[in-house]
Amino acid sequence: MTSTESLIGGDLRVRRLGFGAMHLPTDPDLARKNSLAVARRAVELGVNLIDTAYMYGGGANEELLAEALHPYSDELLITTKVGVARSGPDDEWRLDGRPAVLRDQVEQALRRLRVERIELLQLHRIDRETPLADQVGTLRELRDEGKIGRIGLSEVTVGELDQARRIVEIASVQNRYNLLDREHEPVLAACEAAGIAFLPWRPVAWGESGQRAEVAAVAAEVDATPTQLALAWLLGHSPVVLPIPGTARIDHLEENLAAENLHLSQAHRDRLDRLDRLGDAGSQGTTR
């Protein structure tokens, strides 16, 4: 039976199936009320790992979670990300890992989330125009000041992970990864070897039609939805994987969490594992 719990940073115990809050609408209307209900229902169902970021609405997503869930239970971990900002003459989102920007975004996240310390803070992307040592070093300073508990990275290579680990301990990596998109398998392997939590974003995505058919066939055999099948495969693929599927619907949330109870035989796993060797089914995503 696949374990339903895992540790982040060696000491933060979380349920392995978390929740990605990116898709929750934050506008002040009925959709926002639904978003609050979805976030609260996730916690009611035992989710204690929720992922957000400054980029999700320029902090609006963080404020939504605080409105829904504050004061937080001791077991709840809300992780957020910094390092993407609106800049330039067109005011578009761009990578921005300058130390002053990272510091300001962390301070603002503390205020919006209504906490004194962010237990897991992830660098949303590595800014190629700022030395990695400056970006990770700034987060290390904020950790030493008590404003961050643990540091994570997102969308990194094995080499970048190694470089960052020479500067500070890395507790998590958040890369794009799913049943049909395993480009970052080497990064996952590096995380598993080092005991680093791996939070796949876009944990459910479908590739070419033939591969979708195979997923549907296996799902029918185990009496599950394709989404549940994809999440169950992730949970059994590596003990450091902590999927964070997102949704704005309570029924989809409940469907996702039910994947913990799905048993896949070795024969089913072998069929799903082979999908990665049938061709490039991955899809390149925009910054998330």
* pLDDT at residue number 228: 96
Q: What is the distance of C-alpha 5 from the center of its chain?
A: 16
Is residue 56 part of the annotated active site? The answer reads yes
This prediction's pTM: 0.93
Give me the sheet containing 172-174, strands edge to edge: 19-20, 49-51, 77-82, 118-123, 148-154, 172-174, 197-198
Render pLDDT for 75-127 as a digit per residue (tens, 0 to 9): 999 999 999 998 767 778 999 999 999 999 999 999 999 999 999 999 999 99
pLDDT score of 283: 41
pLDDT at 210: 64
Q: In the chain, what are the domains?
A: 5-205+240-246 (3.20.20.100)
Confidence (pLDDT) at 19: 98
- Give per-residue pLDDT as tens, 119-150: 999 999 999 999 999 999 999 999 999 999 99
**Spatial separation of the C-alpha atoms in residues 147 and 144, rounded to whole Å:** 8
Amino acid 277: pLDDT: 64
pLDDT of residue 105: 98
Residue 78 makes CB contacts below 8 A (sequence gap 6+) with 50, 52, 65, 69, 72, 113, 115, 118, 119
pLDDT of 287 reads: 47
What pLDDT does 206 receive?
65
| Longest Cα–Cα distance in the chain | 55
pLDDT, averaged across the chain: 93
pLDDT, averaged per 10 consecutive residues of the chain (288 residues), comes to 83 96 94 97 98 96 98 97 86 93 98 98 97 98 98 98 98 96 96 98 74 90 96 97 97 97 96 75 44
**Annotated catalytic residue within 54, 56, 72, 177:** 56
Given the DSSP bridges, would you call strands 84-87 and 77-82 parallel, antiparallel or unpaired?
A: unpaired
pLDDT at 278: 54
